[in-house]
Amino acid sequence: MAMSCPLNRYLLLMAQEHLEFRLPEIKSLLSLFGGQFISSQETYGKSPFWILSIPSEDIARNLMKRTVCAKSIFELWGHGKSPEELYSSLKNYPVEKMVPFLHSDSTYKIKIHTFNKTLTQEEKVKRIDALEFLPFEGKVNLKKPQHIFSVLEDYGLDPNCIPENPHNIYFGRWIADGQRELIESYSVKKRHFIGNTSMDAGLSFIMANHGKVKENDIVFDPFVGTGGLLIASAHFGAYVYGTDIDYNTVHGLGKASRKNQKWRGPDENIRANLRQYGLEKYYLDVLVSDASKPSWRKGTYFDAIITDPPYGIRESTRKTGSQKEIPKGMEKCPESHVPVSLSYHLSDMFFDLLNFAAETLVLGGRLVYWLPVYTPEYTEEMVPWHPCLRLISNCEQKLSSHTSRRLITMEKVKKFENRDEYSHLLSDHFLLYKGHNSFREKYFSGVTKRIAKEEKSSQE
Ligand SMILES: C[S@@+](CC[C@H](N)C(=O)[O-])C[C@H]1O[C@@H](n2cnc3c(N)ncnc32)[C@H](O)[C@@H]1O
């Protein structure tokens, strides 16, 4: 009989940003590294303090090598709702688990971390002194300690109502920090090649994490733009590939998006972006191609499809095609035919995207994409679905008072049989999203200027 691994308790200190995206990120990463998200995990909604039960410290370290939603992880030694409760919980923590980190040859430091309150130095020292009962035998070293311990105090979420005493107090051994610094080091502001809709660095990493991107994967973005999403996947060791209908974007030509620059420079392209971050070896290619007419042979090619399709707000939703009705039997373009562009309804675009993902993803592969919604009309049933894809998560990011975009993550759970079989089955379910074809009109309706302004500032 297989022995089940004893679970240790860890405290995750979460960042207070993109709150809805945090849990799916942690769940996805845990499943990537062989840990499982179990119902006994305590994630406390909006709180920055989560308690996780994980089988090993290795899994905790791997998690932190990827997460941008969590700041730090600690091995949890004690927890209470008052100092007394914390101390008695610490006294119950097995000494044999403490000793390797407290012995006389070791150096250590104790830090105090508070959330929603600032303590004076004197108050901090008091808290450290109160821990004297722990069997610390090593030497204090504030500059380069071997082990760092933290007392973390939680004063709730309301800055207008800060309690005298913390709601919760935790004590733990610091293990690792997350990847928050990637948000700065990959900032779009410092990127070589950008466009009007380049994806924010933090969200790009979150998307790659929701997509469970891993080393040597092949990741595809059918609406690649300036390749913001490819960069995040390549950072995690995946080979990346993209397509875009816009010739200028793919070839790095045309008008620049930077204020003080008129035209794009000679080397402003996706390959150069990857080079900027030392990731060029992960570049497979980017092609000019229409996502509504994929040019792929039948087969499963991609470990993940991570993409941000156009919503028609800052870039048009277009596909290639003739304005005139194509005569029957002439569906395959004669060579002389020059396709012009047609508008591409959002519901058709998501229908095509899900079908394409169902067909070309490996089993277990993930599709991660943004679905724009007009919030007054949004219901969960509107989220496009496909029999081969299971919905994993659906997280909202507000764009304005009436609009948001939802980050949808789906996993391929069933082999794709035949395109025709699904087209008939799906149309009914896509009807619900069809109302959103006029997303652009709704977006700009009513208080047009205010909403547009809000959206702009939320993206800055
Ligand atoms: C929201 S932008 C993607 C931005 C990208 N994530 C980035 O970081 O730069 C959407 C892109 O889809 C492209 N697009 C629009 N219609 C398309 C189609 N039918 N096929 C392929 N790409 C299309 C647009 O040219 C635009 O570059």
* 139 and 222 assigned to the same domain: no
Name the least confident of 86-90, 116-120, 176-180, 321-325: 321-325
What average pLDDT score do residues 221-239 get? 97
Contacts of 120 (CB under 8 A, 6+ apart): none
pLDDT at 15 exceeding the cut of 60: yes
Name the least confident of 122-131, 205-214, 443-452: 443-452
Counting from 1 in the atom list of ligand 1, the atom nearest the Cα of 311 is 1
Domain that holds residue 105: 8-178
* 163 and 312 assigned to the same domain: no
What average pLDDT score do residues 197-216 get? 97
Closest residue to atom 22 of ligand 1, CA basis: 244
Q: Pick from 187, 193, 207, 223 the residue to mutate for probing ligand 1's pocket: most ligand atoms within 8 Å of its CB.
A: 223
- Residue 331 maps to a domain: no
* 235 and 112 assigned to the same domain: no
Q: How confident is the model at residue 339 (pLDDT cuts 50, 70, 90)?
A: low
- Residue 452 maps to a domain: no
* 116 and 236 assigned to the same domain: no
- Residue 444 maps to a domain: no
Is 307 touching ligand 1 by the criterion CB < 6 Å? no
Name the least confident of 174-183, 246-255, 285-294, 341-350: 341-350
pLDDT of residue 238: 98
Q: What is the total count of domains within the chain? A: 2
Specify the 3-state DSSP secondary structure of 330: coil
* 57 and 193 assigned to the same domain: no
Of 444 and 55, which is predicted with more confidence?
55
- Residue 50 maps to a domain: yes
Question: What is the CATH number for 115?
Answer: 3.30.2130.30
pLDDT at 397 exceeding the cut of 80: yes
pLDDT at 427 exceeding the cut of 70: no
Kindly state the DSSP code that residue 74 receives in the 8-state scheme: E
User: 146, 163, 178: which is the final residue of a domain?
Assistant: 178
pLDDT of residue 195: 86
Q: How confident is the model at residue 100 (pLDDT cuts 50, 70, 90)?
A: very high
Is 228 touching ligand 1 by the criterion CB < 6 Å? yes
* 260 and 139 assigned to the same domain: no
| Contact criterion met (CB below 8 Å) for 363 and 450 | no
What average pLDDT score do residues 256-272 get? 80
Rounded-to-integer distance, Cα 289 and Cα 292, Å: 9
* 419 and 382 assigned to the same domain: yes
* 208 and 269 assigned to the same domain: yes
Of 385 and 340, which is predicted with more confidence?
385
pLDDT of residue 410: 98
- Residue 275's alpha-carbon distances to 75, 218, 232, 235, 305, in angstroms, are 38, 18, 13, 11, 22
* 161 and 209 assigned to the same domain: no
Q: How confident is the model at residue 1 (pLDDT cuts 50, 70, 90)?
A: very low
Name the least confident of 177-186, 306-315, 341-350, 449-458: 449-458
Contacts of 115 (CB under 8 A, 6+ apart): 48, 49, 152, 153, 154, 155
Is 404 touching ligand 1 by the criterion CB < 6 Å? no
* 190 and 173 assigned to the same domain: no
pLDDT at 456 exceeding the cut of 50: yes
What's the predicted TM-score (pTM) here? 0.90
Q: What is the tens place of the pLDDT at every residue in 271-283?
A: 999 999 999 999 9
Question: What is the CATH number for 204?
Answer: 3.40.50.150
What average pLDDT score do residues 247-269 get? 80
- Residue 3 maps to a domain: no
* 76 and 36 assigned to the same domain: yes
* 311 and 397 assigned to the same domain: yes
pLDDT of residue 322: 62
Is 249 touching ligand 1 by the criterion CB < 6 Å? yes
Is 172 touching ligand 1 by the criterion CB < 6 Å? no
pLDDT at 61 exceeding the cut of 50: yes
Rounded-to-integer distance, Cα 347 and Cα 313, Å: 15
Q: How confident is the model at residue 7 (pLDDT cuts 50, 70, 90)?
A: confident
